[in-house]
Structure 1
Amino acid sequence: MMDLLAKSPFDLAKEPKVVILADWLPPDFGAVGQYMQMRARALAEQGHDVTLIGLSSTGRETRSETRGKGRLTEQRLMASPVPRTSLLRRLLWTIWTNLRLVAASFRSLRTADAILFTGSPPFLIHVLAPLRFLWRGRLVYRITDFHPECLIAARDRPSWALRLLLSVTNFWRRRIDAFEVLGIDQRRRLRQTGVPEARMTLVRDGSPVVFAGHEQAEPLPQPLAGTVVLLYSGNYGVAHEVETVVEGYERHHRLGSGRVHLWLSATGGGADEVAARLGRRGLPFHRSAPVALERLAGLLLTPDAHLVTLKDAFVGFVMPSKIYACVDSGRPILFVGSADSDVDLIARSGRRDYWHVMCGDVAGFAAALEGIAEAARPRS
């Protein structure tokens, strides 16, 4: 993680005081919040005075501590879960949450030397950028997921309202001081919006857990005993490929050896859809809730291989951060998605136990499962 932070655009001499805005902070589940908490702690240890403001499902809380050469203050705002059943309710939740985050951090924002915000919650740029004249420090946008591009990519035909929102968003993007991108594919996308390359810095997430060699694998769920286990962990949402996985998995079980069984330790609409479709077809799989961060290393050591997916329409707009921990776990990886995604670049680098399948290649997915089954390590 420190190697990644060394590439960060924050200068301790010029920007000692940093404010970071994020969404759900641990122990609530949220990849962006996990990474921003890690980022805040590491910056504090380097000597920055860091204030991290995020959301919590358990209550409002503010706590401060000395970390290394600096200081970290975490401010949590009580928030209700994101309403995922209605686009209008989700939009209203986002607007209200963004206003609350800015209001709660207003005094800190006014005195900060640098402000780092992310793509979660979405559209925070529409509050921070218009108020740019109030902030004395640089405004740095860490592109996590692109919005509204993700909304557009999820639809067969974008509405005029979304196209208008995209134009307004790009207007404000061109007025942000600096950007952190998670991958080369994101840098390409951002450049297409008119943001100069000189304002972009590549700062990858890295793994949220460290594999030191003494971690114990999580117990294998009993329904998976005696099988070759393919694990999908974390968020399985609208950006992640479903069709190829379901059809290829069925082909493996109907026409192939059927040795590989899917473990969904996942949340999200994609996980719900995969589980429902596999259940209707009578195909074996196991589903459980995502584990807490302190158990993640053990979970990632448990399966025979990891599954990572990304729809073609979301390449460069979404970067599945789980790829870093999957790579560091040392387990084989099966990626369903485009070679234009940085997921393929990261997973392929220096690895032999890697299977890559393009979206729509059902036969290729089934063949990859057979390869994983043949390469599976014997279990004691």
Structure 2
Amino acid sequence: MDNLWIATELFYPEQTSTSFILTKIANRLSEKYSVKVICGQPVYDKKEEKMSAFTLNSEVSVHKIKGFSGDKNSLVFRSFRLVFLSFSIFFYLLKNMKKEEKLLIVTNPAPLILLISILKVLKKIELVILVHDVFPENTVPAGILKSNSLLYKFIKKIFAKAYSKADKLIVLGRDMQSVLEEKIRRYTDTSKICIIENWGDVRGIYPIPKEEALNSTSLPTDKIIFQYAGNIGRVQGLIELLKVIKSVDNEKLIFYFVGDGAVKKEMLDYVKFHQMKNVYFDEAYSREDQLFVLNRADVAFVSLAQGMFGLGVPSKTYNILASGKPLLYLGEENSEIDLLIKEKNVGYSFRNDQINEMIHFFNHFDEKAITDLEHKKNNARKLAENHYSEEIILNKFYNII
């Protein structure tokens, strides 16, 4: 069997979405390649938990780069760690990869993209980049870099050239495809961008009665629950969402945020300061808990901050669909999730600046809206089963790589 190398920041047994997706891809591709993974040490999930839906094939070889501990929410620590990890992976591959072997990398850690473009020249490898985040463009809405700064323009230029060196670029949606096409146009005429969406776990996640899912919580059972579950980070626009919720006057609704991340404390402080009685918080949850967590919602938030068009497609979307829950998307118009909602009638979509429209929507969410929810719930589950199952999406990776 030919060798396929996979380089990533996160891999099994981490339960984050990137790790889960890369592990599943590695398992599937081990059916036709000898798969060798090079990755970092666990950062988020340091204990290996037995999960029936998440295992690693014994045929997949894994080498973990030794790192160092620190605050994962610290921008300085995370940047230093990713640079160190990128150089470590690069030198390991430089030493161990043979000429013309195949390499799949994901866009975490970002500095690795630059280093691997050098490796491609040195060893003439076949390079496939799975684009989960578009760097450095995603640093602007996160407030890390300014789009008019010389540093940003320089980094953007060298990364565009590095992306263009790939033999294939796999993106998550139509908006990301258009961004990447524009990004690499200056450096290559070759069309090598293809779309492979993320998938939903349609076997392990499915609709269950809301009352059953709420059993272990203190949430009221007689309310319509709008839920955000996942990383409470800088690019989700959640502080802006709280400002909208502050103006909502509908006693039928509550808003439930589940997870952890860089802006959670700021959200907690905001809710406490404004004495918002319709907002609830819960801790981060494991992948094993998703079935119950997702089924607590009547409607599930998927959000991206202003300026994130084409820079990411939230993977949580597809498990939400698997649970039969409609989406409420807050983000750029004509982004992949916005198009999905409008084309398949699986939820509601608002631009980040449609503040008055969102307040009106929440305040007028009545019995008629609840009836419409049932139709959207059925559409969501059917869409996950027919288009975004694990088998369907992994077959696309098998055929393309």
TM-score normalised per structure 2:
0.78
| Aligned pairs (5 A) from 1:146-225 | 146-155=134-143, 157-195=147-185, 196=189, 198-208=191-201, 210-211=203-204, 213=206, 217=213, 219=215, 221-225=217-221
| Aligned pairs (5 A) from 1:32-47 | 32-44=18-30, 46-47=31-32
Aligned: 1:293 with 2:279: no
Contact 2:67 2:81 in 1 (8 A): no
SS at match of 1:235: coil
Aligned match of 1:249: 245
Give unpaired runs (5+ residues) of structure 2.
49-54, 374-401
SS at match of 1:24: coil
Question: Once the 2 structures are TM-superposed, how far is the Cα of residue 116 of structure 1 from its aligned partner?
Answer: 0.8
Rounded Cα–Cα distance in structure 1 between residues aligned with 2:148 and 2:74: 17
Aligned match of 2:51: none
Amino acid at match of 2:89: L
Q: How many residues align?
A: 353
Match of 2:38 among 38, 53, 57: 53
Change in Cα spacing, 1:297 to 1:48, as seen in structure 2 (3 Å) is farther
1:330-366 CA distance string (max 9 Å, x none): 11221111222101122333225x1212112222222
SS at match of 1:251: coil
Question: Once the 2 structures are TM-superposed, how far is the Cα of residue 106 of structure 1 from its aligned partner?
Answer: 4.6
SS at match of 1:99: helix
Rounded Cα–Cα distance in structure 1 between residues aligned with 2:60 and 2:131: 23
Rounded Cα–Cα distance in structure 1 between residues aligned with 2:100 and 2:226: 45
Cα RMSD between the aligned structures?
A: 3.0
Amino acid at match of 1:300: L
Aligned match of 1:273: 266
* Larger mean Cα displacement after TM superposition, 182-191 or 336-345: 336-345
Contact 2:27 2:57 in 1 (8 A): no
Aligned match of 2:230: 234
Change in Cα spacing, 1:113 to 1:297, as seen in structure 2 (3 Å) is farther
Contact 2:35 2:61 in 1 (8 A): yes
Match of 2:131 among 143, 148, 155: 143
Aligned match of 1:74: 62
Question: Once the 2 structures are TM-superposed, how far is the Cα of residue 199 of structure 1 from its aligned partner?
Answer: 1.0
Rounded Cα–Cα distance in structure 1 between residues aligned with 2:204 and 2:348: 22
| Aligned pairs (5 A) from 1:327-366 | 327-351=321-345, 354-366=347-359
Amino acid at match of 2:9: D
Aligned match of 2:377: none
SS at match of 1:363: helix
SS at match of 2:241: helix
Aligned match of 1:121: 109
SS at match of 1:146: coil
1:170-192 CA distance string (max 9 Å, x none): 12222222111111111111111
Question: Once the 2 structures are TM-superposed, how far is the Cα of residue 262 of structure 1 from its aligned partner?
Answer: 1.6
SS at match of 1:25: coil
Aligned match of 1:30: 16
Rounded Cα–Cα distance in structure 1 between residues aligned with 2:195 and 2:220: 39
Change in Cα spacing, 1:222 to 1:197, as seen in structure 2 (3 Å) is farther
Question: Once the 2 structures are TM-superposed, how far is the Cα of residue 218 of structure 1 from its aligned partner?
Answer: 6.0
Rounded Cα–Cα distance in structure 2 between residues aligned with 1:291 and 1:312: 27
Aligned: 1:18 with 2:4: yes
Rounded Cα–Cα distance in structure 2 between residues aligned with 1:77 and 1:224: 46
Rounded Cα–Cα distance in structure 2 between residues aligned with 1:178 and 1:82: 35
Amino acid at match of 2:192: R
The structure that is strand-richer by fraction is 1
Rounded Cα–Cα distance in structure 2 between residues aligned with 1:213 and 1:86: 36
Change in Cα spacing, 1:297 to 1:212, as seen in structure 2 (3 Å) is closer
1:103-127 CA distance string (max 9 Å, x none): 4455553367321111111221111
SS at match of 1:308: strand
Contact 2:206 2:322 in 1 (8 A): no
Rounded Cα–Cα distance in structure 1 between residues aligned with 2:300 and 2:155: 36
Aligned match of 1:4: none
Amino acid at match of 1:95: V
TM-score normalised per structure 1:
0.82
Give unpaired runs (5+ residues) of structure 1.
1-14
Change in Cα spacing, 1:283 to 1:123, as seen in structure 2 (3 Å) is same
